[in-house]
Amino acid sequence: MPINTRELMDAVGMLTDQRNVRVTVKSSAKGAVICGTTCFVGGLLAGPIGLAVGGTIGAVGAGMMSKGKFRSVSEIIMNEMSEREREQLKGRILNALSEFHPTDMAVLLPLIMGNAQAQQAILSTVISFVSNEMRMQIVD
């Protein structure tokens, strides 16, 4: 029986949620610029105290600006990937797990949930795919 892509993506989603793997949608750089700029301006205006106040204001502002911009990888997989991208990811995951010889979901699901090596192979593959193919930044 062939492996169902949707079931595999559900299992991968559960694994990435367990490990709290998230991506940012290009807002980390903006947040850093805001933080750095307010810190710099505060330092120019009020010296060492201004650095602290400017940095704090910048951090709060950047945090508010980036609210909702960090999403879980499982959300990306289930809601934003096209079917073609899911099929590509499935192929890469099965290739990464080729040493384990998964033939169907009945074999693959326990393997994903119970084998640390298989989990690491899947996570590495998913992170690589999301970073390289989808051009998203993984957040630790």
| Per-residue tens of pLDDT for the chain, all 140 residues | 577 788 888 888 888 888 888 787 665 667 788 888 999 999 999 999 998 999 899 889 888 876 766 778 888 888 888 899 989 998 898 888 877 776 666 777 777 778 888 888 888 999 888 888 887 778 75
Same domain, 138 and 124: yes
Quick one: tokens of 34?
């805001």
Against a cut of 0.95, is the pTM above it? no
pLDDT on residue 135: 77
Number of domains into which the chain is organized: 2
Instruction: Give the dihedral sign, CA 93/98/99/101.
Output: positive
Q: What is the pLDDT of residue 49?
A: 92
112 with 84, same domain: the answer is yes
| Count of CA atoms in the C-beta half-sphere (13 A) of 20 | 2
Domain end: 68, 97, 123, which one? 68
14 & 50 share domain = no
Angle between helices 83-96 and 116-132 (to 10 degrees): 140
User: Are 77 and 125 part of one and the same domain?
Assistant: yes
User: Smallest Cα–Cα separation from 126: which of 102, 96, 105?
Assistant: 96
Q: Which domain holds residue 133?
A: 1-23+71-140
Task: Report pLDDT for 26.
Answer: 61
Q: What is the pLDDT of residue 28?
A: 63
Q: Are residues 36 and 18 in the same domain?
A: no
Residue 31 CA from chain centroid, whole number: 18
Print the SS3 string covering 5-74: HHHHHHHHHHHHHHCCCEEECCCHHHHHHHHHHHHHHHHHHHHHHHHHHHHHHHHHHHHHHCCCCEEEHH
| pLDDT for res 94 | 85
Residues 108, 129 share a domain = yes
What value does the CA radius of gyration of the chain take, rounded to a whole number of Å?
Answer: 20
